[in-house]
Every structure is written in C-alpha cells, then in structure tokens.
C-alpha cells in the first residue's frame, strides 16, 4: 500500500510527472478519482477493489495543456485504453508517466464489498493482472475467484433469437434511454470534440429521447465503438437506466476479432482497425 504512495510521491517530488491522475478515498470511504499535484496530495493516493474508474477518460482534457508528463495510475485493463489512445494518435507515450498497479479484481457494484458475486466480468478474462508495460509498478497481486459470466449467457440467448425478437429486445432496452450521454462521457474512447449527436446541420441523430432518437443514438454509439471498445465496462456502470451497453460493444469486439483477428489496445505499433484496410477483407456478403 505504502509503495504506491511512495512511488507517486517521488514522481511528484522529482517532477517525473507534473500531476498524477489517481484514486483517493473520501470521508465516506468511497474510492474516487482525483488529481494529485503535490507530494502532500500523494499521501491520499490509494488503490483497492473499488477503484473501478478508467482514469484514461481524463486525458483529452489535458491535450496541449503544457509541458511535462502526465502521471496516471492504471490497472491492466485501463492500460488498454491508454494504448488505444496512443494507437489513435490522441496522446504520446513519451508524454505519460505510467504507474501500473497489479490488480486483484474490481467490483461490479460499488456499494457492495468485493466478492465472487461482485466482481466485474472483464476481470475473468483479464489476461494480465500486471500491466504489460509501465514506468513504475506497485501493489501486490492477489488471487481471486473468477466471477460467472452471466453476460455470455445473455449473449447466447440473444443469438438464438429470431431477428424480430432481437429487434424487440433491443427496442425495449433502448426505449429506457434518457439521452444523458453518461455512456459517452465515461468512455475513454469517446473523445470527439464534437460528437455526432451534437452535429445539427443536418441533425443526424435526433436529440429527443424518443424511440427513434434513442435507437439511432445507441446503434451509432455502438458502431463508433466497434473494434475500438477496450471493454472497461464503464458505460454500462454509468448508465442510470441499466441498459446492457457492453453487450453490444463486446459483440462488436468479438466480430473484430473473428473477422479481422484484431483486438484494440493490445499493441503500440499496430495500426487501428478502422482507418486501415486489407485488400483481402471478407466480401462474401457483397453481391
């Protein structure tokens, strides 16, 4: 525990980073993101099972914000977002001071203790509890029991449905949407300065939260995440209406991997899936 604090303190004292995006605990023992700017701030830094936030979401805010490296505390899964942002030319590796943490799983429901039933599904598939690269590494990694993948069951159920049934299922889910765009705001990969829903000449996607507006929004958001989502599950956690958003993005990730053998956020040098092409991409569906 002290180790992470120590590393951050040193980094700030020795100006290896101009500030560090990290986690702290508030007086109600809630873990939340904060920015440590001074070695004293670093005293507050913690990491635990409740450290769910993907802190890479804060990067766009600091684009061209001055000299010096940005420090960030990352779990292995969050590092994928960092890698993906580097792949998409949003940030440079050299501008980052990455403090990796060995992760022992994070909670699904932040109001409850960490347990087998309260572990995020992504933790089950996490291949590297230690981030693949970093400037400093902290925390002990502890074994934990793997959660059930109830999402895979739901996915299989949907895949067995007829297309009409599927449309009915998703229409009912999207109907609940209130167009708060929390899903977009928490997503580290949604960094567009002007989102497509904000483009009003013409208005491509209705801003109204009608059945039609909700449907278009959710489809297009999922499409923009196709092969780009790094699976942090933040969108679904943030959605106040409990729409199973990661079911869509996960499905698209599976398509990216089966059709193109591609996984986003896994390599600093591989070009991003969208934006490149191969002359041998499949075309059996084109007449």
- Looking only at residues 176 through 205 of this chain, which bind ligand SF4 when binding is defined by CB under 6 A? 177-184, 186-190, 192, 195-196
Q: Which residue in this structure is represented by tokens 């873990």? A: 31
Phi and psi based region of residue 233 (left: phi greater than 0; alpha: psi -120 to 50; beta: remaining): left
Interaction of residue 166 with other proteins, rule CB under 8 A: yes
Considering only residues 196 through 255, tell me which ones interact with ligand SF4, judged by CB under 6 A.
Answer: 196, 218, 221, 224-225, 229-235, 238-241, 243, 245-246, 249
Q: How far is the CB of 115 from other proteins (least distance, A)?
A: 20
Q: Which stretch binds other proteins (CB under 8 A): 3-11, 24-32, 87-95, 146-154?
A: 24-32
186 makes contact with other proteins (CB under 8 A):
yes
* Exposure class string for 136-149: b at 16+ Cβ within 10 A, else e: bbbbeeeebeebee
Measured distance CA(230)–CA(217) in Å, rounded? 20
**Is residue 77 a contact point for ligand SF4 (CB under 6 A)?**
no
Q: How far apart are the first and last CA of the chain?
A: 60
Residue 39 interacting with other proteins (CB under 8 A):
no
- Judged by beta carbon distances under 5 to 8 A according to partner kind, the member of ligand SF4, other proteins, none in contact with residue 86 is none
The DSSP output letter for 270 is S
Considering only 105, 248, 264, 265, the residue that binds other proteins (CB under 8 A) is 248
Q: Is 201 in the site for other proteins (CB under 8 A)?
A: no
Selected from 79, 215, 231, 264, the binder of other proteins by CB under 8 A is 215
Q: Residue 78 Cβ, how far from ligand SF4 at the closest point, in Å?
A: 10
Residue 163 structure tokens: 């297309």
Q: What's the token pair of residue 246?
A: 């990661």
Identity of the residue, 18 or 251, whose beta carbon is nearer to ligand SF4 in the bound complex: 251
Question: Near other proteins by CB under 8 A, which window of 7-15, 69-77, 115-123, 204-212?
Answer: 204-212
Tokens of 18: 């101009």
DSSP state of 9: H
149 binds, among other proteins, ligand SF4, none (CB under 5 to 8 A by kind): none
272 is a site residue for ligand SF4 (CB under 6 A): no
Instruction: For residues 236 and 16, give the distance between their C-alpha atoms in angstroms, rounded to a whole number.
Output: 34
Residue 137 touches other proteins, criterion: CB under 8 A: no
Tracing tokens 């699904």 back to the chain, one arrives at: 108
Provide the token pair at 201.
């000449």
Q: Which residues, other chains included, contact 105 with Cβ-Cβ below 8 Å and sequence gap of 6+? A: 49, 114, 119, 120, 123, 144
Q: Is 255 in the site for other proteins (CB under 8 A)?
A: yes
CA dihedral 86, 91, 92, 93 (to 10 degrees): -60
Binding site for ligand SF4 (CB under 6 A): 177-184, 186-190, 192, 195-196, 218, 221, 224-225, 229-235, 238-241, 243, 245-246, 249
């Amino acid at each position: 525990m002290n180790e992470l604090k120590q590393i951050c303190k040193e980094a700030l004292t020795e100006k290896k980073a101009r500030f560090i995006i990290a986690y702290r605990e508030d007086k109600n023992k809630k873990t939340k993101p904060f920015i440590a700017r001074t070695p004293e701030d670093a005293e507050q830094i913690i990491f635990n099972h409740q450290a769910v936030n993907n802190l890479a979401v804060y990067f766009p805010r600091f684009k061209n914000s001055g000299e010096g490296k940005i420090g960030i505390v990352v779990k292995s899964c969050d590092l994928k977002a960092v890698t993906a942002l580097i792949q998409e030319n949003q940030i440079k590796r050299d501008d980052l001071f990455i403090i990796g943490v060995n992760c022992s799983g994070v909670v699904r429901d932040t109001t409850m203790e960490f347990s087998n039933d309260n572990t995020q599904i992504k933790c089950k598939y996490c291949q590297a509890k230690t981030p693949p690269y970093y400037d400093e590494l902290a925390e002990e990694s502890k074994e934990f029991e793997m959660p059930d993948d109830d999402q895979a069951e739901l996915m299989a159920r949907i895949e067995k449905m007829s297309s009409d049934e599927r449309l009915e299922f998703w229409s009912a889910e999207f109907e609940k949407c209130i167009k708060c765009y929390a899903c977009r705001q928490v997503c580290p990969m949604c960094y567009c300065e002007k989102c497509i829903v904000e483009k009003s000449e013409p208005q491509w996607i209705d801003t109204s939260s009608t059945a039609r507006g909700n449907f278009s929004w959710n489809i297009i958001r999922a499409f923009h995440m196709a092969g780009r989502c790094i699976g942090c599950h933040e969108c679904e956690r943030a959605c106040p209406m409990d729409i199973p958003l990661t079911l869509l993005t996960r499905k698209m990730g599976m398509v990216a991997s089966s059709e193109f053998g591609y996984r986003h956020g896994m390599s600093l040098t591989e070009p991003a899936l969208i934006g490149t092409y191969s002359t041998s991409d499949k075309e059996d569906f084109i007449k």
